[in-house]
Amino acid sequence: MMRGLFRRSRVFVLSMLLTVAFSCAGEARSALVFQTDFGLKDGAVSAMKGVAFGEDPRLPLYDLTHEIPPYSIWEASYRLFQTVQYWPEGTVFVSVVDPGVGTDRKPVVAKTKDGRYVVTPDNGTLTLLADSVGLSEVRVIDETKHRRKGSEKSYTFHGRDLFAYTGAKLASGKIAFEEVGPLLKGDVVRIPYQKAEVRDGAVYGNIPILDVQYGNVWTNIGEDVFGALKPVKGKMYYVRILKDGKEVYRGMVPFANTFGDVPEGKPLLYYNSLMNLSLALNMDSFAEKFGISSGPEWSVEVRPGK
């Protein structure tokens, strides 16, 4: 009898353990991905992760980058655009490039139309996501409910006290998106820039970012837009680059598939990894040689050569 009781007890305990394990495995939990302009020289990023870990030690925490140039809201916007689409639906991004921290700019959580979330100040960071995949809803964080306890008198580290804390609660499933706070009235803040377009037999666009390691110049002119010119490998194109409307570069450049299609040191037009039109010098830095940078004030014009 005792042996049978012991066997039944073991089965019961094992059943309970399996129930707990499957229950934990089934909890809604998403990856939490951090982006800042903080760098990694001090403990700021670690403090944000510590807050998230305190909300749920099982949260998977990742970094997008912490090397955004200081105060560069535009680059924060671009890195989200470059990255968000490759993460699973439900992923929560915390993006903190916040030169207006403590002011009346709104802390928000945006839900993209493809089901990702971005926790960030509404200061232009959402510009390129809004213009590409689109935003289905944006909610203003209710600071009376979603602020780290004991941080009420802190005004200069919302990355830790508000954004990381709210992001962790959302990613862990402790709150639903609808519980973040009220819907944002009106549109998000957007940074103006030259959108990709075809006009008068030419294509126009912006230089949102540089391939900083190699000095290649990336544009926002996609394959679909440049395709209107019916590009052919080896064909020459007239390229103008402007900053605030003033010409910085002009030249004739061939369209190529890859860098080795032109001699070393020579320019080429090609599609980058995002299938956007780009400029490069084979084995050299186009940006450095011609003094090109990136941002909303930079634009480009490409038209077929004669």
Predicted local distance difference test score (pLDDT) of residue 17 = 42
Examine residue 139 and state whether it is found in any structural domain, yes or no. yes
**Are 216 and 280 in a shared domain?**
yes
Q: Give Cα 231 distance to the centre of its chain.
A: 30
Q: Is residue 36 domain-shared with residue 175, that is, in the same domain?
A: yes
* 170 and 37 belong to one structural domain: yes
Return the SS3 of 305: coil
Residues 202 and 232 reside in one and the same domain:
yes
Q: What is the pLDDT of residue 276?
A: 97
Q: Do 210 and 99 fall within a single domain? A: no
Within 13 Å of residue 122, how many CA atoms lie on the same side as its CB? 20
Cα–Cα distance measured from residue 162 to residue 106, given in angstroms and rounded to the nearest whole number: 12
- pTM assigned to the model: 0.84
Could you tell me if 151 and 105 lie in one domain? yes
Mean pLDDT by runs of 10 across the 306 residues of the chain is: 50 43 55 97 97 97 97 97 96 96 93 98 98 97 90 81 96 97 97 97 97 96 96 96 98 97 97 96 98 98 92
First vs last Cα of the chain: how many Å apart?
Answer: 98
Q: How far apart are the C-alpha atoms of 134 and 84, rounded to whole Å? A: 12
User: Of the candidates 125, 149, 179, which is a domain's last residue?
Assistant: 179
Structural domain boundaries enclosing 138: 31-179
For the chain, what is the domain count? 2
* Residue 192 belongs to some domain of the structure: no
In this structure, the answer to whether residues 60 and 135 fall within a common structural domain is yes
